[in-house]
Structure 1
Amino acid sequence: MFGRKTPKDKDLMGHGSTSEKEWKLIERVVMANSLELKRTRRWGIFFKALTFVYLFLLIGIFMVNSGDLGESRASGPHTAVVEVEGVISASDRANADAVISALKRALKNEGTKAVVLRINSPGGSPVQSAYIYDEIMRLRELYSDIPIYSVIVDTGASGAYYIAAATQEIYANGASVVGSIGVTAAGFGFQELIEKIGVERRQFTSGDHKAFLDPFSEVDPEEQALFEELLGEVHQQFIDDVKKGRGDRLADNDKLFSGLFWTGTQALELGLVDGLKSTSQLARELGYPDIVDFTYRPSPLEQFANSLGASMASTLVKLSQSGDLTLK
């Protein structure tokens, strides 16, 4: 009858009402989750941006302060220090550009009364060493009122001693390693090995000596003589510059330029050094005990780039170069 609800109609209405409530509940849950996700995303973006700003500010502070820490403290009379540490090479910290620029900055500073090259190096490139030697000689004339000294710490051998010879006086510790005035170039020969394992060497060159120092070919007597002559000329340049720098302080000893090295105490007897002192002791005796470091330091970005693998690539390149000259 009209106006009368059957049980079937009641079930349908009840089911519809329940479905509507469920959908509203689901809608509220979804909206709440969406709001929470948006809120979380906004906070995530905020904290990430804050982190990047902090890192960039930190890097900026390091970049502003790096390289000028010594100069910022150089307010009064002081002894300036420039370190020559590690292998002397164009691709290492102890390269001519870095050492020379640090020396110039130290000498231009109004408070600098003396400069000390603090040396701890086994040597390296004769070219880089000669560049530094020549520039020290020039700077000594240009800044004649500021003496330049060398203090050898653990090692001042080969090219490192070449550099030290340009300074007015050289000091070391009694146990320091000093000297090794000589030149060396080393390599390997694999010609017999590749014959034993059945490898055929194929090489094409234009020029009779273009394959000079090839490790897979036998040593040519003519090329060997030419190379020994080249080493002799570099060695003689080394000897002449040491004599020029040290003068009559050198002892008359045939082994002085043989490539041998000595302790600091022995070097003092041979005239290779002028005394046994540390950097601090020398600065005190000079009357300027305040020490300011002018050594070039790589920026944080350069250090970060090196840590990513640039230094590893550089090492691999060096290992592949077996014919480089080295002062020893």
Structure 2
Amino acid sequence: MRPNIAVIYGGDSSEYIVSVQSGKNVFQSIDTELFHPWLVEMKGFEWKVFVDGDESVEIDRSDFSFVYNDEKIKFDYAYIIIHGTPGEDGILQGYFDLLKIPYSTCGVHSSALTFNKYFCSNFLKNFDVPMAKSVRLKKGTEIDIRSIVGELGLPVFVKPNAGGSSFGITKVKSVEKLKEAVENAWKESDEALVEEFILGTEFTCGLVKLKNEEFVFPLTEVLPKKEFFDFEAKYTKGMTDEITPARLSPELTLKCQQLASKVYDLCNCQGIVRVDFILKEEEFYFLEINTTPGMTSTSFIPQQVTAMGMKLKTLLSKIIQDGLS
């Protein structure tokens, strides 16, 4: 009998629309000869599973099951593809831990750590991971512009401390625009980060480590046609050149992959993770770690898996079988 796999998308953040596309691509990529995938949408208190096309059935949140054709169906595994809360910050992971249902992502503590950019960066600093200097600002606190600019200089990047898909990010070049940018970031998160600007090229590295094997994917070189890799550049066709494998020497490629692997281990990650860097003068500076990275048909991870010479279906099968074993 094939295990029932819940492919869970949705969530309660601005990244909902991206999660929808990621969820559908993962669902379509699961090997139906090995597994029985079900598409599950979570949005607030509305949890539903889709069956026979558009028909939906409510999920029983007490045990994460549903009834279909008078039969109670329980899930054996959860493939979480919610970007943002509650799927990337540890909340959903805690729920599945209580129910003893294995899942595809980092655990509670790892998810909570990596979702908070400030906490994660400060943790990794202890292990000599290079990164930009930053200042954290809690919503509603006074913004000491002179002090921030004195410490970080200009330009700076202002971003939500918890969030993704480049929502709420602004590149600030003048003192006059800093307050507005911070308030914009506060719309996405209760805390904003102001980060030192590092001039360089962005690279991203996906990887996954299973019980008996690991895969560190080829790098992607990210060349936005706008000033930086914002939401429009990420999700508008033609706005960014994404080169996989990246045009780097074997030595620099290995250096980046090893640093991504180090970050993965230090943060005690599980499942597919993507680590983003800026390369400046042959030094890779850590930007952030994505523990439920985009999985749309055009996202970085599927690109990297293909460049590695593997089918996404094969990799997903390995991940699910590893979790079920």
Coarse TM-score class (shorter-chain normalised):
under 0.3
Please identify which structure carries the higher helix content: 1
The structure showing larger relative contact order (alpha-carbon pairs under 8 Å, at least 6 residues apart) is 1
- Tell me which protein shows more strand as a share of its residues: 2
Q: TM-score, normalised by structure 1?
A: 0.27
Structure ID, larger Rg: 1
